[in-house]
């Protein structure tokens, strides 16, 4: 069974083809610059050189058709026929309150996703376009939605409600939803395996740090709080998003600089965070390099980011109680050892003893690594995330009729004998 996972952004489509019988990735890649021109596909197959091909993609349907054409190409593909694809899993960023687990997509599901697209205006519209485009290109196979928000639907009411007029929640769904759910799910279950404990008996703080950043407080294996809120703008400092700020700032700056609501929203989402402080960078590798060379604003950006990471570790320890582990994941979490060091150092009074050499050595996206001392009461791990594997397993289980939800479903990666290929 060949399962295709799709992640459609506003101007890109990421894909991965997984062979379920062999439990391995057979191809992956991305179509970039969809809609905006100069589109190209970058296609990777294990054991081969990466293949790049330029082809104009004015919309997502053309981009997905290009993916199918590449996967079935006699020279660069891995499939002899499009009919070898058994199902397609789609990442959907926002599912609102309606979806607590992955589901087969039908007209009612797609309508429900469209109803909440105002809650994620940068993400849900391209997700929807990708679903409709894939259904047009692959009309005879099942399509399944995997929601970023589903993992966090276990949060208690006192954690997800905001202290604003309750009518806003009733009429407009204003509440905390949380995102990066598949990533938090995967690394928390892997951490439980490493700890040698059942997932239902583990207390973990997961820290997904990439261009987007979110943290999750996981108590007894389920999400009880997370940093992103109604939208992905709240919480930690991110590549271009501000994270937590005084809510009066937008109105203040709109008056001072005569900005519209759309303009201030664009600034907070696309021109703030690391970019806002450094004035030129979002990639933390650039920030670290220039900070080491004496750039004060790059150093300031690192200090702010690490300080805010540290604050959330402390806050979530207060919520969870006895903590088993902290997990760093995603691009920066897996590769940015200086940021991890600054976030963890000085937390010995909380039972976290960093091993600086282990931390510096954890610079790979392929290995699960302990970066605290052996006698540290609270362990800290770097665990590479694998959201696509969550997609794939959800799809396969739904097709088999064995899927329940993330609390009761037994993923292969939650087993002690799991080996990532």
Chain centroid offset of residue 62 CA: 25
19 part of the active site? no
User: Catalytic: which of 38, 56, 73, 148?
Assistant: 148
Burial 255-294 (b: 16+ CB within 10 A, else e): eeeebeeeebbebbbeebbbbbbbeebbebeebbebbeee
How are strands ordered across the β-sheet holding 12-19?
51-54, 40-44, 24-32, 12-19, 2-8, 85-92, 143-147, 103-104
Structure token digits, residue 104: 């087969």
CA distance 15 to 77: 13
CA distance 47 to 26: 10
> Could you write out the DSSP letters of every residue in 266-328?
HHHHHS-HHHHHHSS---HHHHHHHHHTT-HHHHHHHHHHHHHHHHHHHHHHHHH-S--EEEE
CA distance 238 to 278: 12
Structure token digits, residue 88: 């397609």
Contact 151, 182 (CB under 8 A): yes
CA distance 195 to 352: 15
CA distance 315 to 327: 15
CA distance 378 to 367: 20
Burial (Cβ within 10 Å: 0-12, 13-18, ≥19) of residue 130: buried
Structure token digits, residue 16: 């991965």
Structure token digits, residue 3: 């399962």
Encode 247-269 in three state secondary structure. CCHHHHHHHHHCCCHHHHHHHHH
The phi, psi pair for 180, rounded to 5°, reads 55, 30
CA distance 65 to 128: 16
Q: Which residues are catalytic?
A: 148
């Amino acid at each position: 069974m060949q399962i295709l996972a799709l992640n459609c952004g506003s101007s890109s489509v990421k894909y991965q083809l997984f062979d379920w019988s062999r439990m391995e990735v057979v191809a992956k890649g991305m179509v970039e610059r969809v809609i905006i021109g100069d589109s190209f596909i970058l296609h990777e197959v294990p054991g081969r050189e990466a293949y790049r091909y330029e082809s104009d993609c004015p919309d997502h349907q053309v981009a997905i058709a290009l993916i199918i054409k590449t996967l079935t190409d006699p020279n660069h593909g891995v499939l002899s026929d499009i009919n070898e694809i058994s199902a397609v899993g789609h990442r959907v960023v926002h599912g609102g309150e309606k979806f607590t687990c992955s589901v087969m997509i039908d007209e009612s599901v797609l309508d429900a996703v469209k109803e909440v697209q105002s809650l994620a205006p940068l993400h849900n519209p391209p997700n929807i376009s990708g679903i409709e485009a894939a259904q047009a290109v692959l009309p005879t196979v099942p399509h399944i939605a995997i929601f970023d928000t589903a993992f966090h639907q276990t949060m208690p009411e006192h954690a997800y409600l905001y202290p604003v007029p309750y009518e806003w929640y009733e009429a407009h769904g204003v509440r905390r939803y949380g995102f990066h759910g598949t990533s938090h799910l995967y690394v928390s279950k892997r951490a439980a395996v490493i700890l040698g404990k059942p997932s239902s008996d583990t207390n973990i703080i997961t820290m997904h740090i990439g261009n987007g950043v979110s943290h999750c407080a996981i108590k007894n294996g389920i999400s009880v709080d997370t940093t992103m809120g109604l939208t992905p703008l709240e919480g930690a400092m991110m590549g271009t998003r501000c994270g937590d700020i005084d809510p009066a700032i937008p109105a203040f700056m709109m008056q001072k600089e005569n900005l519209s609501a759309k303009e201030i929203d664009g600034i907070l989402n696309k021109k703030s965070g690391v970019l806002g402080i450094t004035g030129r960078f979002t990639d933390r590798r650039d920030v670290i390099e220039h900070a080491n060379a004496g750039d004060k604003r790059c150093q300031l950006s690192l200090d702010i980011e690490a300080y805010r990471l540290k604050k959330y570790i402390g806050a979530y320890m207060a919520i969870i109680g006895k903590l088993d582990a902290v997990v760093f994941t995603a691009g920066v979490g897996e590769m940015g050892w200086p940021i991890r060091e600054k976030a963890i150092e000085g937390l010995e009074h909380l039972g976290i003893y960093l091993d600086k050499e282990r931390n510096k050595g954890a610079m790979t996206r392929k290995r699960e690594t302990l970066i605290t001392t052996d006698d540290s009461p609270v362990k800290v791990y770097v665990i590479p995330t694998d959201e696509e594997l969550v997609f794939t397993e959800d799809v396969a289980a739904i097709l088999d009729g064995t899927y329940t939800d993330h609390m009761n479903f037994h993923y292969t990666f939650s087993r002690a004998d799991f080996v990532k290929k």
